[in-house]
Amino acid sequence: MKLITFSYKNTTNIGAIIGNEVVDSTGSIDIPDDMIEFLTAGDSAKNAMQALIDSGYNRIPLADVKVLAPIPRPGKFLGISLNYADHISETKLEKPEYPTFFTKQSTCVIANGEAIHRPTVSEKVDYEGELAFVIGRRCKNVPLEQAHNVIAGYTIVNDVSVRDWQIRSPTWMLGKSFDTHGPMGPCLITADEITDPHNLELKTWIDDELRQNSNTKNMIFNCYEMIEYLSKAMTLEPGDVISTGTPSGVGVKMKPRGYMKPGQTAKIEIEKIGTLSNPVIEEPFEKLF
DSSP letters, 28-55, are: -SSS-SSHHHHHHHTHHHHHHHHHHHHH
Is the domain defined by 77-282 classed in CATH 3.30.390.30?
no
pLDDT per position as a tens digit, 5-63: 999 999 999 999 999 999 999 888 999 999 999 999 999 999 999 999 999 999 999 99
Tell which residue, 162, 165, 254, 240, has the closest CA to residue 204: 254
* Domain boundaries defined on the chain: 2-68, 77-282
**Per-residue model confidence as pLDDT tens for the chain (289 residues):** 999 999 999 999 999 999 999 999 988 899 999 999 999 999 999 999 999 999 999 999 999 999 999 999 999 999 999 999 888 888 877 888 999 999 999 999 999 999 999 999 999 999 999 999 999 999 999 999 999 999 999 999 999 999 999 999 889 999 999 999 999 999 999 999 999 999 999 999 999 999 999 999 999 999 999 999 999 999 999 999 999 999 999 999 999 999 999 999 999 999 999 999 999 999 998 777 7
Angle at the Cα of 152 (from 77 to 241), degrees rounded to 5?
A: 5
